[in-house]
Structure 1
Protein backbone atom coordinates (compact mmCIF):
# COMPACT_ATOMS: atom_id res chain seq x y z
CA UNK A 1 0.00 0.00 0.00
CA UNK A 2 1.31 3.44 -0.90
CA UNK A 3 1.79 5.86 1.98
CA UNK A 4 0.22 9.31 2.04
CA UNK A 5 3.75 10.70 1.88
CA UNK A 6 4.40 8.83 -1.37
CA UNK A 7 1.12 10.02 -2.87
CA UNK A 8 1.83 13.64 -1.93
CA UNK A 9 5.34 13.39 -3.37
CA UNK A 10 3.88 11.99 -6.61
CA UNK A 11 1.23 14.75 -6.70
CA UNK A 12 3.95 17.37 -7.07
CA UNK A 13 4.46 16.25 -10.66
CA UNK A 14 1.04 14.64 -11.13
CA UNK A 15 -1.49 16.91 -9.32
CA UNK A 16 -4.45 14.58 -9.86
CA UNK A 17 -2.76 12.00 -7.60
CA UNK A 18 -3.67 14.17 -4.61
CA UNK A 19 -7.28 12.99 -5.00
CA UNK A 20 -6.22 9.74 -3.32
CA UNK A 21 -5.28 11.65 -0.13
CA UNK A 22 -8.74 13.22 -0.24
CA UNK A 23 -10.41 9.81 -0.64
CA UNK A 24 -8.47 8.40 2.31
CA UNK A 25 -9.13 11.19 4.80
CA UNK A 26 -12.17 13.27 3.75
CA UNK A 27 -14.66 11.22 5.77
CA UNK A 28 -12.69 11.58 9.01
CA UNK A 29 -12.18 15.32 8.46
CA UNK A 30 -15.90 15.74 7.62
CA UNK A 31 -16.98 13.88 10.76
CA UNK A 32 -14.64 15.96 12.95
CA UNK A 33 -15.67 19.25 11.31
CA UNK A 34 -19.40 18.43 11.57
CA UNK A 35 -18.99 17.76 15.27
CA UNK A 36 -17.14 21.04 15.76
CA UNK A 37 -19.22 23.43 13.62
CA UNK A 38 -22.26 21.56 12.30
CA UNK A 39 -22.83 19.69 9.06
CA UNK A 40 -23.17 22.63 6.65
CA UNK A 41 -20.17 24.58 7.92
CA UNK A 42 -18.33 21.26 8.25
CA UNK A 43 -18.49 20.75 4.49
CA UNK A 44 -16.89 24.18 4.04
CA UNK A 45 -14.15 23.15 6.47
CA UNK A 46 -13.47 19.99 4.44
CA UNK A 47 -13.28 21.92 1.18
CA UNK A 48 -11.00 24.59 2.62
CA UNK A 49 -8.80 22.03 4.39
CA UNK A 50 -8.09 20.07 1.23
CA UNK A 51 -7.64 23.20 -0.87
CA UNK A 52 -5.01 24.46 1.59
CA UNK A 53 -3.40 21.02 1.78
CA UNK A 54 -3.21 20.82 -2.01
CA UNK A 55 -1.64 24.27 -2.24
CA UNK A 56 0.85 23.47 0.52
CA UNK A 57 1.64 19.91 -0.49
CA UNK A 58 5.17 20.97 -1.41
CA UNK A 59 5.88 21.76 2.24
CA UNK A 60 4.55 18.43 3.58
CA UNK A 61 7.05 16.76 5.94
CA UNK A 62 7.79 13.44 4.24
CA UNK A 63 9.13 11.93 7.45
CA UNK A 64 5.42 11.35 8.26
CA UNK A 65 3.89 8.43 6.40
CA UNK A 66 0.31 9.52 7.15
CA UNK A 67 -1.15 12.90 6.24
CA UNK A 68 -3.89 12.54 8.88
CA UNK A 69 -2.25 14.71 11.60
CA UNK A 70 -1.27 17.36 9.04
CA UNK A 71 -4.82 17.49 7.66
CA UNK A 72 -6.41 17.65 11.12
CA UNK A 73 -4.05 20.50 12.00
CA UNK A 74 -5.14 22.40 8.89
CA UNK A 75 -8.81 21.65 9.65
CA UNK A 76 -8.44 22.93 13.21
CA UNK A 77 -6.95 26.21 11.97
CA UNK A 78 -9.68 26.56 9.32
CA UNK A 79 -12.32 26.06 12.02
CA UNK A 80 -10.72 28.79 14.13
CA UNK A 81 -10.82 31.18 11.19
CA UNK A 82 -14.35 30.29 10.15
CA UNK A 83 -16.06 30.52 13.48
CA UNK A 84 -16.44 34.00 14.73
CA UNK A 85 -18.95 33.08 17.38
CA UNK A 86 -18.43 30.25 19.83
CA UNK A 87 -22.12 30.28 20.72
CA UNK A 88 -23.09 29.26 17.20
CA UNK A 89 -20.51 26.48 17.23
CA UNK A 90 -21.82 24.96 20.44
CA UNK A 91 -25.46 25.11 19.35
CA UNK A 92 -24.35 22.92 16.46
CA UNK A 93 -22.88 20.27 18.77
CA UNK A 94 -26.24 18.84 19.75
CA UNK A 95 -27.24 18.49 16.10
CA UNK A 96 -23.83 17.10 15.18
CA UNK A 97 -24.03 14.27 17.72
CA UNK A 98 -26.31 12.32 15.38
CA UNK A 99 -23.89 12.84 12.47
CA UNK A 100 -21.16 10.73 14.04
CA UNK A 101 -22.77 7.42 13.13
CA UNK A 102 -23.69 8.33 9.55
CA UNK A 103 -20.26 8.45 7.94
CA UNK A 104 -19.31 5.09 6.50
CA UNK A 105 -18.54 1.49 7.33
CA UNK A 106 -15.13 1.97 8.90
CA UNK A 107 -16.75 4.29 11.48
CA UNK A 108 -19.49 1.71 12.05
CA UNK A 109 -16.87 -0.72 13.39
CA UNK A 110 -15.75 1.85 15.97
CA UNK A 111 -19.17 3.42 16.61
CA UNK A 112 -19.59 1.83 20.03
CA UNK A 113 -16.35 3.31 21.37
CA UNK A 114 -17.13 6.70 19.85
CA UNK A 115 -20.71 6.62 21.12
CA UNK A 116 -19.38 6.38 24.68
CA UNK A 117 -17.10 9.37 24.14
CA UNK A 118 -19.89 11.35 22.45
CA UNK A 119 -22.35 10.54 25.22
CA UNK A 120 -19.86 11.76 27.81
CA UNK A 121 -19.06 14.95 25.90
CA UNK A 122 -22.57 16.14 25.01
CA UNK A 123 -23.65 17.05 28.57
CA UNK A 124 -20.33 18.80 29.06
CA UNK A 125 -20.73 21.14 26.07
CA UNK A 126 -21.01 24.34 28.09
CA UNK A 127 -18.03 23.44 30.25
CA UNK A 128 -16.00 22.45 27.18
CA UNK A 129 -16.91 25.73 25.49
CA UNK A 130 -15.48 27.57 28.51
CA UNK A 131 -12.08 25.87 28.13
CA UNK A 132 -9.19 27.82 26.64
CA UNK A 133 -9.09 27.24 22.87
CA UNK A 134 -5.79 25.33 22.91
CA UNK A 135 -7.08 22.91 25.57
CA UNK A 136 -10.42 22.46 23.78
CA UNK A 137 -8.62 21.69 20.50
CA UNK A 138 -6.56 18.93 22.13
CA UNK A 139 -9.63 17.41 23.78
CA UNK A 140 -11.73 17.41 20.62
CA UNK A 141 -8.95 16.08 18.39
CA UNK A 142 -8.55 13.24 20.89
CA UNK A 143 -12.25 12.53 21.41
CA UNK A 144 -13.70 13.28 17.97
CA UNK A 145 -10.66 13.14 15.71
CA UNK A 146 -9.75 9.63 16.92
CA UNK A 147 -6.12 10.73 17.08
CA UNK A 148 -3.21 9.55 19.22
CA UNK A 149 -1.24 11.94 21.40
CA UNK A 150 1.55 11.86 18.83
CA UNK A 151 -0.81 12.71 15.96
CA UNK A 152 -2.33 15.58 17.94
CA UNK A 153 1.16 16.91 18.63
CA UNK A 154 1.89 16.93 14.90
CA UNK A 155 -1.50 18.48 14.06
CA UNK A 156 -1.06 21.35 16.51
CA UNK A 157 2.74 21.69 16.18
CA UNK A 158 3.35 21.14 19.89
CA UNK A 159 5.40 18.55 21.81
CA UNK A 160 3.70 15.30 22.86
CA UNK A 161 4.26 16.28 26.50
CA UNK A 162 2.21 19.42 25.92
CA UNK A 163 -0.66 17.31 24.56
CA UNK A 164 -0.51 15.08 27.64
CA UNK A 165 -0.44 18.02 30.06
CA UNK A 166 -3.30 19.82 28.28
CA UNK A 167 -5.49 16.69 28.36
CA UNK A 168 -4.61 16.20 32.02
CA UNK A 169 -5.52 19.83 32.79
CA UNK A 170 -8.83 19.47 30.91
CA UNK A 171 -9.73 16.30 32.82
CA UNK A 172 -8.94 17.94 36.17
CA UNK A 173 -10.91 21.07 35.28
CA UNK A 174 -13.96 19.16 34.03
CA UNK A 175 -13.92 16.98 37.16
CA UNK A 176 -13.64 20.05 39.40
CA UNK A 177 -16.46 21.79 37.51
CA UNK A 178 -18.63 18.70 37.93
CA UNK A 179 -17.98 18.57 41.69
CA UNK A 180 -18.77 22.29 41.98
CA UNK A 181 -22.06 21.83 40.08
CA UNK A 182 -22.90 18.89 42.33
CA UNK A 183 -22.44 21.05 45.44
CA UNK A 184 -24.72 23.72 43.96
CA UNK A 185 -27.35 21.04 43.34
CA UNK A 186 -27.10 19.88 46.98
CA UNK A 187 -27.57 23.42 48.23
CA UNK A 188 -30.77 23.78 46.23
CA UNK A 189 -32.22 20.48 47.49
CA UNK A 190 -31.66 18.63 44.22
CA UNK A 191 -30.10 15.16 44.18
CA UNK A 192 -26.50 15.08 43.06
CA UNK A 193 -25.69 12.87 40.09
CA UNK A 194 -22.33 11.19 40.03
CA UNK A 195 -20.67 11.52 36.61
CA UNK A 196 -17.67 9.98 34.91
Structure 2
Protein backbone atom coordinates (compact mmCIF):
# COMPACT_ATOMS: atom_id res chain seq x y z
CA UNK A 1 0.00 0.00 0.00
CA UNK A 2 1.37 3.39 -0.90
CA UNK A 3 1.19 6.22 1.59
CA UNK A 4 0.05 8.53 -1.24
CA UNK A 5 -3.15 6.49 -1.62
CA UNK A 6 -3.95 6.99 2.06
CA UNK A 7 -3.02 10.67 1.92
CA UNK A 8 -5.44 11.16 -0.97
CA UNK A 9 -8.31 9.98 1.26
CA UNK A 10 -7.63 12.41 4.13
CA UNK A 11 -9.90 15.23 2.84
CA UNK A 12 -12.84 12.82 2.57
CA UNK A 13 -12.16 11.36 6.01
CA UNK A 14 -11.97 14.86 7.52
CA UNK A 15 -15.15 16.04 5.80
CA UNK A 16 -17.13 13.01 6.97
CA UNK A 17 -15.76 13.16 10.53
CA UNK A 18 -16.50 16.91 10.75
CA UNK A 19 -20.06 16.42 9.53
CA UNK A 20 -20.60 13.47 11.85
CA UNK A 21 -19.17 15.04 15.01
CA UNK A 22 -19.83 18.74 14.43
CA UNK A 23 -16.56 19.65 16.17
CA UNK A 24 -13.38 20.32 14.24
CA UNK A 25 -10.97 19.23 16.97
CA UNK A 26 -12.83 15.99 17.68
CA UNK A 27 -13.06 15.28 13.95
CA UNK A 28 -9.32 15.83 13.47
CA UNK A 29 -8.63 13.52 16.42
CA UNK A 30 -10.85 10.83 14.89
CA UNK A 31 -9.11 11.15 11.50
CA UNK A 32 -5.70 10.96 13.17
CA UNK A 33 -6.73 7.85 15.10
CA UNK A 34 -8.08 6.35 11.87
CA UNK A 35 -4.85 7.00 9.98
CA UNK A 36 -2.77 5.68 12.85
CA UNK A 37 -4.75 2.45 13.01
CA UNK A 38 -4.70 2.08 9.21
CA UNK A 39 -0.94 2.50 9.13
CA UNK A 40 -0.48 0.08 12.02
CA UNK A 41 -2.75 -2.55 10.43
CA UNK A 42 -1.90 -1.97 6.77
CA UNK A 43 -1.00 -5.64 6.37
CA UNK A 44 -4.71 -6.47 6.90
CA UNK A 45 -5.74 -4.47 3.84
CA UNK A 46 -6.27 -6.73 0.84
CA UNK A 47 -4.58 -5.49 -2.31
CA UNK A 48 -7.20 -4.78 -4.95
CA UNK A 49 -9.95 -4.05 -2.42
CA UNK A 50 -11.46 -0.59 -1.91
CA UNK A 51 -9.06 1.44 0.23
CA UNK A 52 -11.65 4.15 0.88
CA UNK A 53 -14.20 1.67 2.21
CA UNK A 54 -11.51 0.09 4.41
CA UNK A 55 -10.54 3.48 5.89
CA UNK A 56 -14.18 4.45 6.51
CA UNK A 57 -14.72 1.09 8.15
CA UNK A 58 -11.82 1.78 10.51
CA UNK A 59 -13.23 5.24 11.26
CA UNK A 60 -16.69 3.82 11.91
CA UNK A 61 -15.32 1.21 14.32
CA UNK A 62 -13.25 3.82 16.15
CA UNK A 63 -16.32 6.05 16.51
CA UNK A 64 -18.36 3.15 17.90
CA UNK A 65 -15.57 2.51 20.40
CA UNK A 66 -15.58 6.19 21.40
CA UNK A 67 -19.32 6.12 22.00
CA UNK A 68 -19.01 3.01 24.17
CA UNK A 69 -16.40 4.39 26.53
CA UNK A 70 -17.08 7.33 28.84
CA UNK A 71 -15.51 10.57 27.71
CA UNK A 72 -13.90 13.41 29.62
CA UNK A 73 -15.23 16.84 28.61
CA UNK A 74 -12.57 18.95 26.93
CA UNK A 75 -12.36 22.49 25.59
CA UNK A 76 -10.15 23.47 22.68
CA UNK A 77 -7.83 26.38 23.41
CA UNK A 78 -7.33 27.30 19.75
CA UNK A 79 -11.00 27.46 18.80
CA UNK A 80 -10.83 31.16 17.85
CA UNK A 81 -7.98 30.54 15.41
CA UNK A 82 -10.15 28.35 13.20
CA UNK A 83 -13.04 30.40 11.94
CA UNK A 84 -15.28 28.84 9.35
CA UNK A 85 -15.93 30.86 6.21
CA UNK A 86 -19.35 32.50 6.28
CA UNK A 87 -21.93 32.44 3.55
CA UNK A 88 -22.79 35.74 1.79
CA UNK A 89 -26.30 36.02 3.25
CA UNK A 90 -27.72 35.48 6.69
CA UNK A 91 -30.55 33.31 5.42
CA UNK A 92 -28.06 30.85 3.93
CA UNK A 93 -26.35 30.63 7.30
CA UNK A 94 -29.66 29.97 9.00
CA UNK A 95 -30.55 27.22 6.54
CA UNK A 96 -27.24 25.48 7.08
CA UNK A 97 -27.68 25.82 10.83
CA UNK A 98 -31.19 24.37 10.55
CA UNK A 99 -29.86 21.45 8.51
CA UNK A 100 -27.07 20.76 11.03
CA UNK A 101 -29.59 20.86 13.87
CA UNK A 102 -31.96 18.59 11.97
CA UNK A 103 -29.15 16.13 11.24
CA UNK A 104 -28.41 15.92 14.98
CA UNK A 105 -32.01 14.76 15.52
CA UNK A 106 -31.66 11.88 13.07
CA UNK A 107 -30.54 8.62 14.75
CA UNK A 108 -26.82 7.85 14.41
CA UNK A 109 -27.34 4.78 12.20
CA UNK A 110 -29.39 6.79 9.71
CA UNK A 111 -27.17 9.92 9.91
CA UNK A 112 -24.07 7.84 9.08
CA UNK A 113 -25.70 6.54 5.92
CA UNK A 114 -27.03 9.98 4.92
CA UNK A 115 -23.58 11.54 5.27
CA UNK A 116 -21.75 8.77 3.44
CA UNK A 117 -24.20 9.03 0.52
CA UNK A 118 -24.48 12.84 0.39
CA UNK A 119 -20.98 13.97 1.35
CA UNK A 120 -18.79 11.09 0.29
CA UNK A 121 -20.89 9.95 -2.68
CA UNK A 122 -20.26 6.34 -1.74
CA UNK A 123 -22.29 3.57 -3.32
CA UNK A 124 -24.56 1.32 -1.26
CA UNK A 125 -22.06 -1.51 -1.70
CA UNK A 126 -19.16 0.62 -0.47
CA UNK A 127 -21.17 1.79 2.54
CA UNK A 128 -22.23 -1.76 3.37
CA UNK A 129 -18.60 -2.89 3.24
CA UNK A 130 -17.38 0.05 5.34
CA UNK A 131 -20.01 -0.39 8.06
CA UNK A 132 -20.21 -4.17 7.91
CA UNK A 133 -23.96 -4.31 7.26
CA UNK A 134 -26.08 -5.74 4.40
CA UNK A 135 -26.86 -3.53 1.39
CA UNK A 136 -30.58 -3.81 2.14
CA UNK A 137 -29.98 -2.33 5.59
CA UNK A 138 -28.11 0.57 3.99
CA UNK A 139 -31.04 1.28 1.67
CA UNK A 140 -33.57 0.98 4.49
CA UNK A 141 -31.63 3.31 6.81
CA UNK A 142 -31.14 5.80 3.99
CA UNK A 143 -34.86 5.84 3.21
CA UNK A 144 -35.86 6.23 6.86
CA UNK A 145 -33.16 8.84 7.43
CA UNK A 146 -34.24 10.93 4.44
CA UNK A 147 -37.87 10.79 5.52
CA UNK A 148 -37.02 11.72 9.11
CA UNK A 149 -34.80 14.60 7.94
CA UNK A 150 -37.54 15.82 5.58
CA UNK A 151 -40.11 15.80 8.41
CA UNK A 152 -37.79 17.66 10.77
CA UNK A 153 -36.97 20.29 8.13
CA UNK A 154 -40.71 20.74 7.44
CA UNK A 155 -41.30 21.38 11.13
CA UNK A 156 -43.15 18.15 11.77
CA UNK A 157 -42.37 16.09 14.83
CA UNK A 158 -41.28 12.59 13.73
CA UNK A 159 -42.83 9.73 15.63
CA UNK A 160 -40.49 8.38 18.29
CA UNK A 161 -40.24 4.64 18.37
CA UNK A 162 -39.57 3.32 21.83
CA UNK A 163 -37.98 -0.06 22.34
CA UNK A 164 -39.34 -2.24 25.08
CA UNK A 165 -36.49 -3.56 27.18
CA UNK A 166 -37.18 -6.33 29.65
TM-score (structure 2 length as normaliser): 0.67
1:52 to 15, 21, 37: 37
Task: Quote the residue 2:131 is aligned against.
Answer: 156
2:58 to 74, 84, 99: 74
2:143 to 151, 168, 190: 168
Aligned length: 139
Against the structure 1 CA distance between its residues 22 and 165, is the aligned structure 2 distance closer, same or farther, given a 3 Å change threshold?
Answer: same
Task: Quote the residue 2:17 is aligned against.
Answer: 33
Task: Quote the residue 2:161 is aligned against.
Answer: none
Task: Quote the residue 1:92 is aligned against.
Answer: none
Spell out, residue by residue over 1:4-24, the C-alpha distance to the aligned partner (whole angstroms, 9 max, x if none): xxx2xxxxxxxxx4x223222
Inter-partner Cα distance in structure 2 for 1:124 and 1:22: 30
Does 1:133 pair with 2:118? no
**In the TM superposition, what is the alpha-carbon distance from 1:72 to its structure 2 partner?**
1.2
Q: Considering only CA atoms, is the larger Rg found in Structure 1 or Structure 2?
A: 1
Q: Any gaps of 5 or more consecutive residues in structure 1?
A: 1-6, 8-16, 89-95, 100-118, 184-196
The structure where helix makes up a greater share of residues is 1
CA-atom RMSD, angstroms? 3.2
Is the Cα contact below 8 Å between 2:56 and 2:130 reproduced in 1?
yes
Q: Which has the higher contact order (CA 8 A, sep 6+)?
A: 2
Is the Cα contact below 8 Å between 2:20 and 2:112 reproduced in 1?
no
TM-score (structure 1 length as normaliser): 0.58
**In the TM superposition, what is the alpha-carbon distance from 1:122 to its structure 2 partner?**
4.3
Query: What is the SS of the residue equivalent to 1:150?
Result: helix
**In the TM superposition, what is the alpha-carbon distance from 1:182 to its structure 2 partner?**
5.9
Inter-partner Cα distance in structure 1 for 2:129 and 2:38: 15
